[in-house]
Structure 1
Amino acid sequence: MENHISIELEAMLKKAQPLFTTKSCCIYKVPQKIRQLNEEAYTPTVVSIGPLHHGNSKLVTMEGHKQVYCQHFIERSEPSLTDLVSCIQQLEPQIRACYSEKIELTVEEFVKVIFIDCCFVIELFLKDDGMINDAISSKPWIGTRVIHDLLLLENQLPLFVFDKIYNLAFASGSLPSFISVAASYFSVFNKQGVLLPVASGIAHFTDLIRFFNLPPFHRRPSRKPELLILGHSASELVESGVKFIVNKSLSSHVCMLDLEFKNGSLRIPHIKVGDGSEIWLRNIVALEQCHYPQEHYILDYIIFLSQLMKTNNDAGVLIKARVIDCVFGGNYESKVSKLFGDVGKNTLVTSTNVDYLQLLHDLNAYYDHPWHSKMAILRRDYFSTPWMTAASITGIVLLILTVIQTCLEILGLIKVVDGAEIWLRNVVDLEQ
């Protein structure tokens, strides 16, 4: 006779599902170990997109606004509402498979959430692109928060859903591609002016922001299973003679990750740090931890800068060099060092950018060379200001003149002695 426990176990195991059901998974709940460091950096404050934060009572105010935008989108779309909804229904299994969490919504509920959110975002992007007056962009504080909410890892829809609905709605081709419209909306994060290919393989908006800040595929360095350990902070490197300089390119499109050490100068691309920086950096790092565990290029950059800026004085070195442009108020040095120190905490590192490993090797070797520190001390103590330089040069000139004068006096004394010896010899010869 079959045991009732085994019957219950069999039923339970039949319902069990793996952590990530398919390779399509690209939208994740941020791991708790990382999330607990700053819950607010991963949680939407104005608008929820997708199922993971749907129903949050703090975001209910925007739901009516989303529906208004959705209505506007339907009115401007070429196909009917039925055709648009049918598209989402056909994609429902694919969309659901993109989430790491089990979505506790029926098919009907899920389709409604995805459809309204998808239409809202497309309409928002088109209005922001200057095609129609936009109530959100007319309120800068709301517009900024919406942008931040749309780049959160937990607040995403897969990009292929937007593409399908957008291409169906504007099949006549009267508008630019959706990826172009999205890139325009998030242009503040595209410092390089990256041009997106048609088939870029970008999963969602968080992935898009990461893509903006990576070097082109042909320039992405290989990786080694080594840890990134810099032995000396920025202020210590300055003591050894290292100079910090903003890395600029002739094309003005410098990748944020392009660090270079040459002839005693560490060149780092300019980065602006403000209240929103922690949000996008944290969410990209969380994406790399979940989706790109072998290619965490942004995390490498964060770890490198955190090791450079171990103290407030270290952060001050990079701010003074204009490498970091800080828009924080108050004690901004401490805020900058804390930002880069905190973002990389509780992360797992499996490999490191080989360019950064070479960079660390060169910096450590430069610091360990005794000649560099002696020259740095000489420059600091005697040539740090124009007045000190003038005084030092004057002192050196006086020292040289004194040495020359002493040498001449010695040579003159030698001539006197030689003359006396000749005179005495002649006197002695005469007496004999």
Structure 2
Amino acid sequence: MANPNPDETTMKIKAMLEEAQPLFTEECCIYRVPHEIRKHNEDAYTPKVVSIGPFHHGNEKLQKIEAQKRIYCREFIQRSETKNLESFVSCVQEVEPKIRGCYSEDIKLSKEQLVMLILVDSCFILELLCRYHFKWPYRDALLRSLRLRIYIRHDLFLVENQVPFFVLEKLYNLAFPSTLNSGNHSHPSLLWLTRYIVHLGIFDNSDKFEASLSNDVRIDHFTDLLRKLVLISSHLLQPSSPGCSREAELTHLYSATQLNEAGVKIEVNKNSQCLLDLELSGHCLRIPFIRVVDSTEVVLRNLLAFEQCHCMDKAYLTDYVAVFDFLINTDEDVDFLIKKGIMENWLGDSNAVAEMFNSLGVNIIYPDFNVQYSRIFERLNALCAHPCNKKVATLRRDYCNTPWKAVASVAGIFLLILTVIQTVFSIIH
């Protein structure tokens, strides 16, 4: 058998190497959740009713709403000032290469197919936001169903189910140029509209919502928006903030009940404006209030997955979840935090809350850890390890954990002292 021509082999290898494309680009911000993380709760990363972007496009379970998406797209274009489909198509065509680079996988769609997909999905989202703003939910067959509205909001924040935010901005600005430029607020800013689907419980005043995000803060997509709203309220997006340092190593921390038994006073941080603000003063650990609802696990899992894929060096929410993973080992820890006013459990089952926090950190990588949290861990562990603290905490737990026990213990000590005095006087006389 004749050996292959070396020149021919070289040409084939050269062609193969030139065809190779990078897996990630500088624009990449929308990711498939890694299998090691996804396998523990696939439903948390999978859309329920609506596919956004290419990753879940074509899923048979999500076809029912495809026709409605096209209707919304058509009506958004009709709602716009231009009412010109060609200008919207051209707008997406111009940035198609950049859009393609935003996804972590090679999109098996032609340029035309991707433009159609992104245009329909983006205009669907924009029309949805407009209908919320103009109070249309109860006149809209799609939004009339409360369950469907909740599922759509759920799907819009999944890390795999995104379109780039800059596309939404370009299309929205194209649709309403005069209102945006003239100061006429018949159509508010896009960021303002997103508040209709972002419900964090930390933006009670709608005026604070838009003011929290300055113009120089880049938003990649809705998952990123949700994360940045949390971090901005804790100033973690400001490089000068002392809470930004993540050069420590993750170490062990005792559970909430163990800390309490060791004499650590745990109470709710009423002055905190952010979930992430832990404070330790003396023997008192203050933790911000958290409400655990049905969507909490989905939101946290997607935020963690995004940090693991996109910004592991700034994984502040991952650090926060690690804290609760340590604090909560059993349902007793959950009940203790509820008793202290730190946690509100809308799931009903304390064991379910414990299992949720214990599972969130599975297969999560911690190359670095929050320095502030690490220092708190060291001080708390030192308090727990000190023998005097353990003895005092044991006495407090066994003899002073209720008012009646405390009274009985004091009375017992007083009687013991009187008995000793009486015995001494008897011996003297």
TM-score by length of 1: 0.88
- The CA distance in 2 between the partners of 1:366 and 1:96, in whole Å, is 53
The alpha carbon displacement at 1:407 in A equals 4.6
1:31 to 29, 34, 41: 34
In 1, Cα distance between the equivalents of 2:380 and 2:367?
A: 22
8 A Cα contact 2:33 2:160, kept in partner: yes
Q: Are 1:48 and 1:155, in contact at CA under 8 Å, matched by a contact in 2?
A: yes
Partner of 1:248: 270
Counterpart Cα distance in 2 of 1:138 and 1:115: 25
For these two proteins, the number of residue pairs brought into alignment is: 406
> What are the superposed Cα offsets for residues 272-316 of structure 1, whole Å, 9 maximum, x if unpaired?
123211111111111111110111111111112112222333333
Q: Select which of 216, 224, 233 maps to 1:207.
A: 224
Q: Quote the residue 1:125 is aligned against.
A: 129
- Give how far 1:90 is off: 1.1
Which of 118, 127, 141 lines up with 2:147 in the alignment?
141
Q: Distance in 2 between matches of 1:321 and 1:5?
A: 72
Which secondary structure does the structure 2 equivalent of 1:71 belong to? helix
Q: Which moved more, 1:315-324 or 1:398-407?
A: 398-407
1:124 deviation in Å? 0.8
Residues of 2 paired with 1:188 and 1:41: CA distance? 18
Deviates more, 1:130-139 or 1:172-181: 130-139
The question of 1:180 aligning with 2:180 is answered: no
8 A contact 2:202–2:274 mirrored in 1: no
Amino acid at match of 2:29: C
CA 1:220–1:41 in structure 2 vs 1: closer, same or farther (change >3 Å)? farther
2:182 alignment counterpart: none
Contact 2:52 2:121 in 1 (8 A): yes
| Cα distance in 2 between the residues matched to 1:190 and 1:82 | 41
2:257 to 206, 227, 235: 235
Q: State whether structure 2 residue 361 is matched by structure 1 residue 344.
A: yes
In 2, the alpha carbon distance for the partners of 1:190 and 1:109 equals 39
Superposed CA RMSD: 2.0
User: How many Å separate the matches in 1 of 2:7 and 2:374?
Assistant: 60
- Among 305, 321, 330, the alignment partner of 1:311 is 330
Aligned match of 2:80: 77
Match of 2:156 in 1: 150
Give the secondary-structure state (helix, strand or coil) at the position aligned to 1:65: helix
Q: How does 1:389-400 map to 2 (within 5 A)?
A: 389-400=406-417
Q: 2:215 aligns with which of 192, 198, 203?
A: 198
Q: Does 1:271 align with 2:290?
A: yes
1:65-110 deviation line (CA, Å, top 9, x unaligned): 1111112211110012221221111121111111111111111111
Once the two structures are TM-superposed, the CA of residue 404 in structure 1 deviates from its matched residue by 3.9
Name the amino acid aligned to 1:358. Answer: R
Distance in 1 (alpha carbons) for counterparts of 2:330 and 2:136: 48
Helix, strand or coil at the partner of 2:248: coil
Asked whether 1:18 is paired with 2:25, we answer no
Alignment of 1:160-175 (within 5 A): 160-173=166-179, 174-175=186-187
**Residue 430 (structure 1) aligns with:** none
Q: 1:90 to 1:188 in 2, by over 3 A?
A: same
> Does the C-alpha gap of structure 1 residues 190 and 164 become closer, same or farther in structure 2, counting only changes over 3 Å?
farther
Where does 1:362-401 land on structure 2 (aligned, <5 Å)? Answer: 362-401=379-418
Gaps of 5+ in 2: 180-185
Aligned-residue offset at 1:6: 4.0
Q: How far is 1:111 from its partner? A: 0.8
Structure 1: segments with no counterpart, 5+ residues: 414-432
Cα distance in structure 1, aligned partners of 2:242 and 2:175: 37
Question: Residue 191 of structure 1 contacts residue 212 of structure 1 at CA under 8 Å; is this kept in 2?
Answer: no
